């Protein structure tokens, strides 16, 4: 398998952007607890959908 530099750069840029936006909006939101729960549950649903769309069962890693 050919590994290119882009395979590593794109995830690093994306993760940096996501963390920066999380911190930015975390400072502005009024109810920080609800915001944190929203982010966590959104991430869980996203990972389950990705796993399900890639052919695996969505319930295998509960």
The pLDDT tens digits of the residues spanning 25-44 come to 999 999 999 999 999 999 88
Q: What is the token pair recorded at 23?
A: 């911190």
pLDDT digits (tens, 9 = 90+) for 4-27: 877 788 888 988 999 999 999 999
- What average pLDDT does the segment 43-49 reach? 85
pLDDT recorded at residue 53: 76
pLDDT recorded at residue 30: 94
pLDDT recorded at residue 57: 55
Whether 35 and 26 have beta carbons less than 8 Å apart is answered as yes
pLDDT recorded at residue 46: 85
Q: What is the token pair recorded at 57?
A: 């069962």
Contacts of 58 (CB under 8 A, 6+ apart): 48, 49, 51, 52
């Amino acid at each position: 398998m050919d590994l290119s530099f882009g395979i590593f750069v794109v995830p690093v840029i994306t993760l940096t952007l996501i963390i920066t936006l999380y911190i930015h909006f975390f400072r502005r939101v009024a109810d920080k607890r609800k915001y944190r729960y929203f982010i966590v549950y959104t991430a869980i649903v996203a990972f389950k959908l990705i796993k399900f769309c890639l052919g695996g069962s969505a319930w295998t890693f509960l």
